[in-house]
């Protein structure tokens, strides 16, 4: 199964997200991440959906989402031509014996320490989903107390725009 990303620009109305999500549920298609945000136009919201699935089902869901009354625009996001990023917050227990190794990984990945106490340190990393996966994997040997990750946001590179 292939990881797929779509962006849906919709009217900013109550219930739109539920209608979009129900199309996935009806077809047994799993949503890996879902991010909804306002756009520069307060009447329009941007929904970014990451999913794993086959091309046929993905195309069918895009077609049906496009038929919703509130949908203004829908498009597939190709990673080659786009920026797809997530934010990771991860809290580590403060352990002197691992401090330098952990700081080295934080530096290598371009992450930053956003909170530090005597007992723990919280690190933030904004990057591609694959890069976040790598950071998580590389830091598993440290004592992770808590972790949260945003859904993906996506925008095409260059001067390509999809305003409605």
The confidence score (pLDDT) of residue 134 equals 97
Distances (CA, A) of 66 to 34, 45, 63: 17, 14, 5
Kindly report the length of the chain.
164
* 87 strand-pairing partners: 126
At the fourth CATH level, the homologous superfamily of domain 2-76 is: ACT domain (3.30.70.260)
Correct CATH for 83-153 of 3.40.50.970, 3.40.640.10, 3.30.70.1150, 1.20.200.10: 3.30.70.1150
pLDDT (tens digit per residue) in 54-66: 888 888 889 999 9
Collapsed DSSP state (helix, strand, coil) of residue 14: coil
pLDDT of residue 99: 81
* CA distances, 8 to each of 20, 24, 63, 156, 163 (Å): 9, 14, 11, 13, 11
Q: Which residue has the tokens 């409605």?
A: 164
pTM attached to this predicted model: 0.85
Q: Per-domain residue ranges for the chain?
A: 2-76, 83-153
């Amino acid at each position: 199964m292939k990881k797929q990303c779509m962006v849906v620009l919709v009217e900013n109305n109550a219930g739109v997200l539920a209608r979009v999500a129900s199309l996935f549920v009806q077809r047994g298609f799993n949503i890996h991440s879902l991010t909804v945000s306002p756009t520069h136009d307060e009447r329009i919201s941007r929904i970014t959906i990451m999913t794993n699935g086959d091309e046929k089902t993905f195309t069918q869901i895009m077609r049906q989402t496009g038929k919703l009354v509130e949908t203004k625009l829908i498009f597939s996001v190709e990673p080659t031509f786009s920026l797809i990023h997530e934010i990771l917050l991860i809290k580590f227990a403060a352990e002197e014996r691992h401090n330098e190794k952990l700081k080295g990984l934080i530096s290598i990945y371009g992450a930053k320490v956003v909170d530090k106490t005597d007992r723990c340190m919280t690190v933030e990393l904004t990057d591609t989903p694959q890069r976040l996966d790598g950071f998580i994997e590389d830091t598993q040997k440290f004592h992770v107390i808590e972790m949260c990750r945003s859904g993906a946001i996506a925008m095409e590179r260059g001067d390509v725009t999809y305003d409605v």
